[in-house]
Amino acid sequence: MPHNLQKSVFDALNACRLIQEFTTGQTFETYQADIMRRSAVERQFEILGEAFNRIDDIDLLFRDHLPEMGKVIGMRNRITHGYDCVSDVIIWNAVQDYVPSLIDKLALWLDGK
C-alpha cells in the first residue's frame, strides 16, 4: 500500500507535538529519572523517524524543507536497533534542539496544503 505524503507529514507533526507535551516542564534530570516518560518520548521519535522514512519514499526533495530528517531517521534507527545503548543525553538534546523547529516547519507545510 503506497504511503500518503500529507498523512506522513501529519504523523510526524503529531509525534513532535507529543514529544513536546511529554517533556514540557521537565529538566534533563526529571526526564532521565522517569522511565515511562523516556519510553514515551523514544516511541514518538521512532514514529517521527518512520514518518520521515515514508516521506523520503514519496518525495526525496522534501528534505530540502527539513534537512534535519536524516539525523532524526538515524536516531530512530539507533533507538529501534540499538535499544540497549540509547543515550538519554542525545534524546534530550534532540528534544531541545530539533523538535520546536520541526513543529513549526511541519505545521507550515501542512497549512500550505
Domain residue limits at 79? 5-111
Place of cell 534524546: 91
pLDDT at 112: 87
Round to whole Å and give the CA distance between 75 and 10.
Answer: 20
Query: How many domains would you assign to the chain?
Result: 1
Contact 49/76 with Cβ under 8 angstroms?
Answer: yes
pLDDT along the chain (113 residues), means of 10: 88 98 98 98 98 94 92 94 92 96 96 84
Amino acid 1: pLDDT: 57
pLDDT at 113: 73
